[in-house]
Amino acid sequence: MAILDKFTLRDKVAIVTGAGKGIGAGIARTFAEAGADVVIGARTTADLECVAGEIEALGRRALVVPTDVLDFAQLQNLVDRAMAEFGRIDILVNNAGGFPPKPVAQTSAREFEAAFRFNVTTAFELSRICAPLMVASAGGGAILNISSIAGHKPTPCFAAYGTAKGALSYLTRELAQEFAPKVRVNAIAVGSTRTDALNTVLTPEIEQTMVDLTPMARLGEVEDIALGALYLCTPAASYVTGEILGVNGGMERLNMQMPRAWGGMG
């Protein structure tokens, strides 16, 4: 196999959650361009249909499965539909997740637990369902979790989100040990990436501060994350498992300035 052939996903089948917009949509498009058929899940059908059109324009098949990852029956349906349509699963990308920055004093225990469920438990459940099917249908596969630099660089107002992403990164390492050698499990520690979600809070002043605090002197783009995902899910990374790949512009701290509980900025 030629070197560049190791970076392709020709005739592979990937499931991507949160694929209607942003990073998930970018990963789905990139995987299709690399040769994969893609099963895309998210809550909004119209968004998924748009991404599916882009995948099909690249000459690959797209299966739209509206999915709320918090409903475990819908996760099972996502996998069942993938197997019924394609007969195999090679790749799973657990991208759906998130939680806004919020002071601890204003974060209820219910919200804290909800952040954990949204970011960690959903990824655990989908990985648990998919891994045996990857082995049975394709002889093995790759799981990728979209984590965050917030999972290992503490900062004010990120207790819920950062703790959840920290747990997701650790879950990645645990699953890698248990699923080896058949299924590789890795994660990406994403930094501030220009998506619709980030754009809702960006002002010119906030963006400039974030850029100033990023060693690479810019915000991340969806393509940056998608290319990291492509590497980790292709044969090029066949000896890589249990790793948390930083795609965050070299940040050693979060670049969002948030207030401490009793004065000062983080």
Catalytic (active-site) positions: 161
Q: What distances in angstroms separate CA 167 from CA 123, 207, 258, 263, one per listed residue?
A: 11, 28, 22, 28
Nearest Cα to Cα of residue 148 among 178, 208, 190, 117:
190
Dig out the tokens for 192 from the structure: 């501030």
DSSP state of 265: B
39, containing H or E segment: strand 37-42
Q: Is 51 helix (H, G, I), strand (E, B) or coil?
A: helix
CA distance 255 to 153: 10
